[in-house]
Structure 1
Amino acid sequence: MSNGSQRINTAVVVHGKGDLRVEQLPLPLPRANEAVVTVAYGGICGSDLHYWKNGAVGESILRQPMVLGHEIVGTVTTAAADGSGPVAGATVAVHPATIGTAPGRYPSARPNLAPGTTYLGSAAHLPHAQGGFARYTALPTRMLRPLPRKLSLRDAALAEPAAVALHGVRRAGDVAGKCALVIGAGPIGALSVAALRRAGAAEITAVDIQELPLRIAREVGADRTVHATDTETIDAIEADVVIESSGNHHGFASAVRGAARGGTVVLVGLLPTGPQPALVSLATTKELDLRGSFRFVDEISEVLEALADDTLIIGPVATHEFAVENALEAFRTAADASVSGKVLLRF
């Protein structure tokens, strides 16, 4: 950060519903256990879109301006003063969680369920956890995952959402040789298709209401695709494993109908807060296993290795790149599933 133009810390900040701004922030002042990362790419997540469009994600309500973004990769500019973490010049992906210490029981092997956990770019708590959509950001070194030597920053840009997808597939158990169904073929659904293919699923069907997501799903490993209105075909699939990634009750209904008796349905898509209409009676008579899936543990490290050795094929999922200065256009594009998959901000 030697010259004046490079020292401009451009960031994407949401101030309220419909109020997204590209602003200049002060350069970060890292704590002893933090490294300064020059961000290369940031992926726009559905949660980022909800904060912009609705001022909230579920019950996480925006109450102060917040830098968005948790899907980021970049280069360590200044290593941590305490000697922890990667050295300056290392390329890294970011695990955006800070495990909570609030009282409450949860399985020790599943720290993603720890009460009080925070995530970069989340308004779940006050003060909000500022995100990573800034040219320079200071991050605890425990969040940083060095990239394998042959993996570029651009190719690693989807590591965080791919980890979410891999965690969802893992929640289904052993999928090798099984018939799999993915409901909702947006970025997480498409990444779930890729994860299922890597895990050895015998047949993968993807369902969506838009042609572009279905095309992307085929490119990353779906054997066939079905339009969401074709309920007769969905009912006849009888999938051993269903990944529900649409995040709406219509998708949940399709997941229950498309599952085989005794099958497993993993809920990766987050439905809106509050009561939802659901085919619970059919889930009961089919004896379906309904399993939640929330973020991930540390699957991001496995994702990076899989991207480096080409056993996880996800390139087609990223359809657009925008310079950070054009963030509003990027968000508008990302909000239209008929024209975009994953949209990346380039810093």
Structure 2
Amino acid sequence: MDAVYACVVHAAGDLRIEEREAVAPGAGQVAVRIAYGGICGSDLHYYRDGGVGDFKVRQPLVLGHEVVGRISQGTDEFAEGAPVGIHPAAPCGTCAECRRDRRNICAYSNYLGSAARDPHIQGGFVQELIVPVDQVRVLPPGLELRTAVLAEPLSVAIHAVRQAGEGAVDGKRVLVTGAGPIGLLVVAALRQSGAREVVVSDLHETPLTLATQVGATHTVQVGTADWPDEIDVAIEASGTAGGLRTCLERVRRCGTVVQVGSLPGGDTAFAGNVLMTRELTLTGAFRFDHEFDTAIDWLAGGLPVDPIVTHTFPLADAKAAFDLASDRTTASKVLLDLSVGTPR
């Protein structure tokens, strides 16, 4: 392959399809011909706002970290043509967090499609991606690439559920605020983890319909008063101060709230006195590590998540894909098909 095309953000609102010179894999690397890439909320923030939280775009950035494909230049371990998923994180392996097996919060990690480092870590929305072999997972037989692309965001969801504590959701009533793709995958992960009831709130009707399809037992459109009592655990997936307040106010006394939605950069006001007087536990959930392998196993086992993928666009139409993915009344997870033709 002489050249490849990539989806690159230069600044807020400035998204381009650019030609890049193909690169051969080096020692300890393989080349993956990318088939699908899922547009994540962080990708949308880079496109709309020029940054995610405190991470600002300072140079052209190839977006994307939810990617799957087939080995195009392999090794003895990875045969050419093998379908693979790609773990997007490369932690340092030596810091205190890595030594404690908390590699997802390694301060020195390289993460595909991230502006957290300077120079930025280029992402996976490129037709051929060179990646270290230890980030590659051969997919189980029968797992379609279009489903496997959900492994990365499902890993985020599984990690968020686990942050509530060992067995904390089993047999319990759990609230999820925000029914975007991560919130929907949290719903599926909660049911897989034994949650008895899953209550989901959102501003819009369309994502709440999808929530029911992936396992929610009760939905609440924000602005109504139809709230069940006695929420044991709440998982905040909307990335809004209002969603966090809802979790803190609705969870039972001594309950647990997990923040997985990315809040805006800077300070966020929250109901601190509610946290204090009701002795709540508030914890964060950032990315994932070993959960990636669990996610692949769950998807191969038939976890009911297919409704979450609502639209697929060729790479040439990336801007239209990003614009639609921003419309929560219509779309949920939007995919880029990087295998379709040569971008215009």
Q: Same fold (TM over 0.5)?
A: yes
Change (3 A) 1:30 1:97: same
CA distances 1:209-242 after superposition (whole Å, capped 9, x unpaired): 0111101100000001001222x434x5321111
- The amino acid across from 1:222 in the alignment is A
Q: Does the alignment pair 1:154 with 2:146?
A: yes
Measure the CA separation in 1 of the matches of 2:180 and 2:107.
29
Matches within 5 A, 1:220-239: 220-230=214-224, 232-234=225-227, 236-239=228-231
- Paired residue for 1:333? 324
Measure the CA separation in 2 of the matches of 1:99 and 1:87.
25
SS of match in other structure, 1:88: coil
CA distances 1:23-56 after superposition (whole Å, capped 9, x unpaired): 1111122111110000000000111111111111
Q: Does the alignment pair 1:206 with 2:200?
A: yes
SS of match in other structure, 1:333: helix
Q: Does the alignment pair 1:48 with 2:27?
A: no
The alpha-carbon deviation at position 145 of structure 1 amounts to 1.0
Farther-moved stretch of structure 1 (152-161 vs 186-195)? 152-161
| Count of aligned positions | 336
Q: For the Cα contact (< 8 Å) 2:54–2:266, is it kept in 1?
A: no
Q: Does the alignment pair 1:72 with 2:67?
A: yes
CA distances 1:276-324 after superposition (whole Å, capped 9, x unpaired): 11111112122111111000012111111111111x2111111000001
Measure the CA separation in 2 of the matches of 1:172 and 1:77.
40
TM-score by length of 2: 0.94
Q: For the Cα contact (< 8 Å) 1:102–1:116, is it kept in 2?
A: no
Matches within 5 A, 1:294-313: 294-310=286-302, 312-313=303-304
Q: For the Cα contact (< 8 Å) 1:101–1:115, is it kept in 2?
A: no
Which segments of 5 or more consecutive residues in structure 1 lack a partner in the other structure?
2-6
CA distances 1:65-117 after superposition (whole Å, capped 9, x unpaired): 1110000000001014xx5x522221111110010368555761211111211
Measure the CA separation in 1 of the matches of 2:272 and 2:226.
21
Measure the CA separation in 1 of the matches of 2:301 and 2:261.
28
Change (3 A) 1:107 1:273: farther
- The amino acid across from 1:176 in the alignment is D
- The amino acid across from 2:188 in the alignment is A
Q: Does the alignment pair 1:323 with 2:314?
A: yes
Farther-moved stretch of structure 1 (107-116 vs 20-29)? 107-116
The alpha-carbon deviation at position 139 of structure 1 amounts to 0.6
Q: For the Cα contact (< 8 Å) 2:315–2:337, is it kept in 1?
A: yes
- The amino acid across from 1:320 in the alignment is H
TM-score by length of 1: 0.93
CA distances 1:117-172 after superposition (whole Å, capped 9, x unpaired): 12100011111100000111111111111101111111111110000001101111
- Paired residue for 1:4? none
4+ residue segments displaced more than 2 Å: 100-107
The alpha-carbon deviation at position 252 of structure 1 amounts to 0.3
Which segments of 5 or more consecutive residues in structure 2 lack a partner in the other structure?
339-344
Matches within 5 A, 1:143-292: 143-173=135-165, 174=167, 175-230=169-224, 232-234=225-227, 236-292=228-284
- Paired residue for 1:133? 125
Farther-moved stretch of structure 1 (187-196 vs 106-115)? 106-115
Measure the CA separation in 2 of the matches of 1:247 and 1:16.
22
Change (3 A) 1:106 1:301: closer
CA distances 1:183-228 after superposition (whole Å, capped 9, x unpaired): 0010000000000011110011100001111011000000010012
Measure the CA separation in 2 of the matches of 1:151 and 1:103.
35
